[in-house]
Each structure stands twice: as C-alpha cells, then as structure tokens.
Structure 1
Amino acid sequence: MNSVQLLRGQLRPVLMGLLMTVACVTTVRADNGVALTPVTQVPEGVEVRGKQVAAYTWDDKQGKNLLVLAEQLSEREDDGTQSAFVYAAQYLIDGDRPKRVWMLYDDVQHCEFDAALRFDMTATKVTDLSGDGLTQATVGYSRTCTSDVSPNEFKLIMHAGKSQKYRLRGVDRVGASWWDEEAGALRGMPLPKDCSVAGQQALVSQYKEQGTELPLPGCYGDEKDFAKAPEAYLTFMRQHWFALMQKQDAEWSQSLAQPQEPTEDEETAP
C-alpha cells in the first residue's frame, strides 16, 4: 500500500513557464497569507506518495517553492482491516532537480473499522509572519479509525524552513452535535472558544457533561510546540485552528438541520 510514485515525466514547457513566472503573480495579503498558484503536474524529481490531491507554487526569498499533498486509502485486506495515509512535501524548484525542504507522512495501519486520513484543503496556508520574505507552510488533516460518526483526531502543522515544525493536535467537530427530534433543534456542547485546560473544564462544568475527556471536540490539547516559537506563529495558528473548527461546526450543523429526503415508500404512501 505504501508504494512510492516517482513522477518521471518531462517537465513540460508550459509548466516550466508557469514556475518561472510565479514571482510575478505571488502577492502577500493583509493577513500575511501568500497567494498560491495551483498546478496539476509536478516536475520530474518530485516524489508523490499515493494519489496527488493538490499542488501549489509560490515564490519567496529562498526561491521558487512547490507544495504537494497526496492521500491513499487501501482496499480491505483478507482479514477485513483497512489502511490509509497522507503525504505532504515542500520542494525548492532550483536548477535541474527539485530539492525537498521537508516531508510529512502519517498513516493508519490495519484498522478493524473504517480508516480515514484526509487533508482539510481550507487548512492549507502559506504565510510570511515575520515579514522577512521567508515563508511558512501550514497544512491540516483529520485521522480516524472508527465505526461510528464521532470526532476525528485533527492535526494542524506549520513548517518554517527545513527543521522548524509547530503543531496543534486535538479533535475536530464532526459528530459533536446531534438532532433532537422532540425539540426540533440541535443538541450538544457548543464549540469551545478557549482551548486552555481551564477553559475546556469550565465549559464541561457549565454543561454538566460527565466523563468527558479533554480535548473537547473542536479543541487542541496544548501549545507546547510553540514555547520557543515567535509569538506571531502561535497567534496565527490559534486563529487558524478556530476558523477551521467554526467552519466544520457550521457545515456539520447545517447537514443535520437539512430536511430529510423522503424514502421511496414514503413518496408512494397514500
């Protein structure tokens, strides 16, 4: 399953032209986000594990950059188990051969239930938080091995150069609320706005939930990775995490509140 697909096709002139002109189209937004250019074909020498689901280019002080994201979900084995993985890598497109800056790989092996590893495409961000022309690449993905609808493990990971990596790890908002037929309304603990231990425990106490483990759905566990990081990194990652969870919460709630489509029997019933 963990096969490595090395794309050996020739770098087409169209793509080469695109990569050569990235510096002309890349801009920095007011929120320090760098505009990305999507590409469908990556250059020769870029390793892609699994199925490519996205690739982006941008330009910074280091040169021309490429970020590639890939996923793979295996067929079930003879014993009924299933495996999945995600893969991400950043390359510098310099000279004849791309140079890999960093690589991310995570997997679920031999899951007896339903395995899933998926990138949240809205989590993908490239920023210049220090304003020095050196960028940070952030990706986020969910990871699970379950047989029901429940929150998944969620990881939001920022890479700053080759060796600096900062993570927020916790639980997403999938399955965190449910539809109460009698009340005709959604039930469940609201999305936390403070992921500190004290903040999460206060929410648990307020809603009198018993036996709830931390982190709560929609929260991360701690900020230890940022102890020596620039303050701007943690500020960005906090804001980004909560924006992603708010989006998930709204989408999940909307899906539950939508009127159910009548079944075939209901449509034909007198």
Structure 2
Amino acid sequence: MNSVQRLGGQWRPVLMGLLMSAACVTTACADDAVALTTVVQLPEGVEVRGKEVAAYTWDDRQGKNLLVLAEQISEREDDGTQSAFVYAAQYLIDGDRPKRMWMLYDDVQHCEFDAALRFDMAATKVTDLAGDGTTQATVGYTRTCTSDVSPNEFKLIMHVGKAQKYRLRGVDRVGAAWWDEEAGALRGMPLPRDCSVAGQQALVSQYKEQGTELPLPGCYSDEKDFAKAPEAYLTFMRQHWFALMQKQDAEWGQAQTPSQEPTEDEESAP
C-alpha cells in the first residue's frame, strides 16, 4: 500500500487508514512517477500558477489533503531580462469544495542573467513526527539569478496546518567543487557537517582560499524559526537538509569527474 499517490486522471485511494509513526508517514519520492501531472487532472477549485510539476494526496486527522507544486521560467523580455517563480499549495479536500490551507510563492523578477527557481523533488516529504495524526508538509527549492555556475540559494520549508511555517535558508552544493587536472582530483571545500557559525568558521579556517562568506555551500544560515517549535521538527529538518546536500554533493562531484576511457587492455579483455 502506497502512502502517497500521485494524482492521475481521477482520484484514487491513498490511505486505507491513518498511519501512526514517529518517523515519516508519507514520502514523495524523487522519481519520474511524481512529475508533470496536468492541471485538468486536479479537482475543480484547486488553483495552479505556472506549470504543474507534481501533486500528492494523503489522509490525516483533518481528512484528505492535496499538495500541488508548480514552476515557471519566462522567456526573456525585450530588455533581455528574465523572470521565474515557484508555487506550492496545500488543500484540504472537503466534499466538492477544496479549501486552501496555505500557499507558497517565490520569484525572481527581471533578472539580467539567468533566472531559475526549481523544486528539489527529493525534498518533498509529508511526515507525522509526533505520531498523533497531525502531518507536516515539507518542500525545498533552489533560487538563483546568476551568469555563472555557482551555489544557489536553497530553501527548505515545513508547513504544519494552516498557520505554522518553519524554514531553513542557505546555499546549495552546485558549483562547490571543480576538477583539478594537475592533481587529477576534485578540489573545493567539503560539505559542512555543522551549520552553526562556529562550525562553519572552523571549516573556513582549513580552506582559507575559499573565502569566509557564510553560509558556506551546503549550509543554512540559522535555526531561528525553530526557537519555539517542537524539538522533533528541528531534528527532522536538520537531518533532511544534510541528506539533500549530501545527495547534491555526490551528484555534482560525479558530474565534474571526467569519465574514464577504457585502456586498450580493458577494451580487449573478454
């Protein structure tokens, strides 16, 4: 039984009952099955801004929930600038009348370089951290306006119900390493394991050539949003952030590493 089901041409059962667990109750995986559903497949009354990229539904103590994600990157204007935005919303499906619980909208306007806002699909998770049937919906995305390959702004945002929102904001791992031809290895500051100011500064002291601007690639700036939040929320968000950055770091490093051409002996081997 899948706990999260991508919406197709019609509504399909998602949960036969509430799953009570202190771990993740429902998880949207980053694979082809969650991308590019069309707006006409959503219930009437659900607003979508931009191009829909994913939609999810799940049950909790409030009833049936719907999460929809959309993105848009514009063509360049006559002045050469470009704009982009991301949109997300959670709805409570109550009969034939969807009720929007929250909406997320972020944009880059009139960027003179390359504008981009994109959801990190691996960041999309729905959890029941207290095991009481109250779920938390988390999304993450990159935001940039740049002319080179460099780390992007990254935001990881958790919504709980209609009014509660908790965020970690920082920098992703794009452009954080490069291939050194002479050394035959990747160079660059490694992924931080501690995003406290002291932890980041300790890492900077070992890699002074990388500069001292904080947050470092792969780190968030602070945890102020969680000052009054349940401890489980911050624990989850820390773990989730670092897991996402580890994934990005591995993918970026692999993309920078030259592919090894087989030697003549390897080509002739049976």
- Identity in percent: 83
Task: State the Cα RMSD in Å.
Answer: 2.1
Alignment of 1:71-150 (within 5 A): 71-150=71-150
Q: Could you tell me whether the CA contact under 8 Å between 1:28 and 1:35 is conserved in 2?
A: no
After TM superposition, the structure 1 = structure 2 runs for residues 5-24 of structure 1, keeping only pairs within 5 Å, are: 15-16=10-11, 18=12, 21-24=13-16
Counterparts of 1:172-211 in structure 2, within 5 Å, are 172-209=172-209, 211=211
The answer to which of 196-205 and 206-215 deviates more is: 206-215
Shift in Å, 1:208? 2.4
Deviation at 1:42? 1.0
The 1:60–1:156 alpha-carbon spacing in structure 2 relative to 1, beyond 3 Å, is same
Q: 1:29 to 1:184 in 2, by over 3 A?
A: farther
Greater RCO, CA 8 A, separation 6+: 2
For 2:178 and 2:34, locate their aligned partners in 1 and report how far apart those are by CA, in whole Å.
Answer: 37
Hey, which bits of structure 1, 4+ residues long, moved more than 6 A?
none
Partner SS for 2:240: helix
Uncovered stretches (5+) of structure 2, i.e. residues with no partner: 1-6, 262-270
Structure 2 distance, partners of 1:228, 1:97, is: 33
Give 1:96 shift. Answer: 1.5
Q: Is the deviation greater in 204-213 or in 179-188?
A: 204-213
Cα–Cα, structure 1 residues 257 and 13, in superposed 2: closer, same or farther, change >3 Å? closer
Query: Which whole-Å CA distance do the structure 2 matches of 1:13 and 1:123 have between them?
Result: 21
Does the 8 Å contact 2:189/2:210 carry over to 1?
A: no
2-structure distance, mates of 1:210, 1:23 = 49
The aligned counterpart of 1:152 is: 152
Structure 2 CA distance for aligned equivalents of residues 122 and 26 of structure 1: 23
How many pairs align?
A: 247
Structure 2 counterpart of 1:33: 25
Alignment match, 1:225: 225
Residue 38 of structure 1 deviates from its aligned partner by: 5.4
Is 1:28–1:34's contact at 8 Å kept on the other side of the alignment?
no
Spell out, residue by residue over 1:111-153, the C-alpha distance to the aligned partner (whole angstroms, 9 max, x if none): 0000000000000000001111010000000000000000000
- Alpha-carbon distance, 1:28 to partner: 5.8
